[in-house]
């Protein structure tokens, strides 16, 4: 799938999403006839996985002058240390100062989401993790969360737009709604098989009506080699997805001759819970993670002017002048 560009909305470009004091600053500078070349550096509050710079670059490409501008940055997905300068912009202040709020927001949110995804992937012992957090946040940022999760190491994500931004194919099995509407898990599985393209894996949700093991065996007998796997999403009201349930299901599938059927799990998974499944050797082939990624706190980015017309400057408590960071590459 071809990568799609980010949606840099008119409200961002005209400054409606900026802190109002930045608008007022530009008005004052224009009236004073001032537009100095400044160097502004962006650094983070915590270590993590750097994310959001691709979107920031698309914004800067729209607003920075072609001549006389420099942008230095870490790479998307690079490990980031606490207080490390991750982005430096050198350009006339009037060309980008209004976007300080947007740039900090893009980097803060995306780095937080990517870091949370990375924490899940690290403990999954090679089993793929799919981001399923879109239903927990506003749709305006659903694609950004999915993109950030893929940057953090997720194998895929649940939304079409998030997958387009990431250049991958979206991942998803079937919702409980399909099974409820058709009145039977096996009917839902067979309808899915009839109407979905062959390249979409046949992974069936098996916790809607009957015991998960019984439902899995029924589906496996009906679909045979066409069945890629089953997904367990047992609600907390019935104890949730447990390690023992996964182990029992694996044994019973194997005994019935369905060793090829994989087991995917979802529902309230966190790095700690994934670690527990791994330490107990629960045979999980993939995890769906939602709210742990979508609710991750932003990794707050701060911006500081460190140089004006080549002269080192800083507010009290910060060191004047450009910060040396050999990990930065010039990208513009």
- To 5 degrees, how large is the angle CA 209–CA 286–CA 261? 60
Given this model, what pLDDT does residue 80 score? 96
d(CA 238, CA 154) in angstroms, rounded, equals: 28
Given this model, what pLDDT does residue 52 score? 97
Given this model, what pLDDT does residue 73 score? 98
Tell me if 252 is assigned to some domain: yes
**227 and 133 co-located in one domain:** yes
**127 and 218 co-located in one domain:** yes
Using DSSP's 3-state secondary structure scheme, residue 270 falls into coil
Given this model, what pLDDT does residue 1 score? 54
**105 and 121 co-located in one domain:** no
**189 and 89 co-located in one domain:** no
**181 and 195 co-located in one domain:** yes
Predicted model pTM: 0.94
Tell me if 4 is assigned to some domain: no
Tell me if 236 is assigned to some domain: yes
d(CA 288, CA 133) in angstroms, rounded, equals: 9
Tell me if 99 is assigned to some domain: yes
**103 and 140 co-located in one domain:** no
Given this model, what pLDDT does residue 26 score? 96
Residue 279: CB partners within 8 Å, gap ≥ 6? none
Range(s) of the domain holding residue 38: 10-112+297-330
**43 and 139 co-located in one domain:** no
What is the bridge-based pairing of β-strands 37-44 and 301-308?
antiparallel
Tokens of 209: 């009506």
**272 and 308 co-located in one domain:** no
**98 and 157 co-located in one domain:** no
Beta bridge partners of 231: 205, 264
**74 and 186 co-located in one domain:** no
What is the bridge-based pairing of β-strands 203-205 and 129-131?
unpaired
* pLDDT tens for the 332 residues of the chain, in order: 556 789 899 999 999 999 999 999 999 999 999 999 999 999 999 999 999 999 999 999 999 998 989 999 999 999 999 999 999 999 999 999 999 999 999 999 999 999 999 999 999 999 999 999 999 999 999 999 999 999 999 999 999 999 999 999 999 889 999 999 999 999 999 999 999 999 999 999 999 999 999 999 999 999 999 999 999 999 889 989 999 999 999 999 999 999 999 999 999 999 999 999 999 999 999 999 999 999 999 999 999 999 999 999 999 988 999 999 999 999 99
Domain containing residue 77: CATH number: 3.20.140.10
Tell me if 219 is assigned to some domain: yes
**218 and 302 co-located in one domain:** no
**135 and 65 co-located in one domain:** no
Domain containing residue 201: CATH number: 3.20.20.70
Q: State how many domains the chain has.
A: 2
d(CA 210, CA 185) in angstroms, rounded, equals: 9
């Amino acid at each position: 799938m071809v990568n799609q560009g980010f949606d840099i909305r008119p409200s961002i470009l005209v400054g409606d999403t900026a802190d109002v004091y930045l608008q007022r600053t530009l008005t004052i500078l224009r009236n004073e006839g001032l537009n100095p070349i400044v160097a502004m550096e962006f650094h983070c509050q915590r270590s993590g996985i750097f994310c959001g710079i691709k979107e920031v670059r698309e914004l800067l490409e729209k607003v920075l002058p072609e001549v006389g501008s420099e942008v230095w940055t870490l790479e998307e997905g690079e490990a980031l240390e606490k207080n490390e300068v991750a982005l430096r912009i050198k350009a006339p202040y009037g060309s980008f100062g209004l976007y300080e709020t947007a740039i900090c927001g893009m980097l803060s949110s995306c780095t937080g989401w990517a870091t949370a995804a990375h924490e899940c992937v690290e403990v999954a012992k090679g089993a793929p993790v799919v981001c399923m957090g879109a239903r927990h946040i506003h749709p305006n940022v659903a694609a950004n969360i999915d993109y950030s999760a893929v940057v953090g190491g997720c194998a895929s994500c649940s939304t079409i737009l998030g997958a387009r931004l990431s250049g991958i194919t979206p991942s998803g099995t079937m919702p409980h709604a399909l099974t409820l509407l058709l009145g039977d898990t096996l009917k839902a599985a067979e309808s899915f098989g009839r109407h979905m393209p062959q390249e979409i894996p046949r992974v069936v949700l098996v916790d809607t009506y009957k015991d998960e093991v019984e439902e899995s065996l029924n589906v496996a007998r009906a679909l045979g080699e066409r069945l890629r796997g089953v997904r367990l999403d047992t609600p907390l009201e019935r104890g949730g997805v447990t390690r023992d349930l996964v182990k029992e299901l694996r044994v019973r599938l194997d005994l019935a001759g369905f060793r090829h059927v994989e087991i995917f799990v979802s529902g309230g998974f966190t790095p700690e819970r994934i670690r527990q499944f791994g330490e107990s050797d629960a045979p999980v082939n993939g995890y769906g993670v939602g709210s742990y990624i979508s609710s991750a706190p932003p990794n707050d980015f701060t911006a500081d002017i460190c140089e004006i017309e080549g002269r080192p400057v800083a507010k009290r408590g910060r060191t004047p002048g450009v910060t040396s960071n050999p990990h930065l590459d010039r990208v513009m």
